[in-house]
Amino acid sequence: MDGHSDSDGYCYYTPNNCSKYYANCQCYSYYSASYTNATCINMRGVYVNGRCYHNGYCLYFWFREQCYTRFSTYYVSYSCPGVYDYTSGYCYYNE
């Protein structure tokens, strides 16, 4: 169950109805301090105080415990704008 925030800045939601984790007027199934802000966004989560609150799935490409929006074989290791996988030759990055 989700809440909402009105223009007055208050969250109208009863946290008791949330069985897991509550952040920014939303109820989430999981949280992790090891995900980056970009990964959190790619998982449709919210990043608050160094933690990613999310519902457990990457919408794009999962590599080395992070979620990326793109991957390509166009880049070589030194020009990859994200993380390069030497085994597959893929460059994982966010646009």
pLDDT score for 1: 42
- For 51, left (φ over 0), alpha (ψ -120 to 50), or beta? beta
- According to DSSP, the residues that pair with 53 across neighbouring strands are 31, 46
Are 41 and 73 found together in one domain? Answer: no
* Each residue's pLDDT expressed in tens, for the chain with a length of 95 residues: 445 555 666 776 556 677 789 888 888 999 999 999 999 999 999 999 999 999 999 999 999 999 999 999 999 888 999 899 988 899 999 98
Are 48 and 20 found together in one domain? Answer: yes
Are 65 and 52 found together in one domain? Answer: no
CA pair distance 58, 76, nearest whole angstrom: 25
pLDDT score for 54: 96
CA pair distance 62, 94, nearest whole angstrom: 12
Residues whose CB is less than 8 angstroms from the CB of residue 1 and which lie 6 or more positions away in sequence, other chains included: 13, 17, 18, 27
Are 47 and 86 found together in one domain? Answer: no
Are 42 and 64 found together in one domain? Answer: no
pLDDT score for 6: 54
Range of the domain at 11: 1-59
Q: Considering the entire predicted model, what is its pTM?
A: 0.77
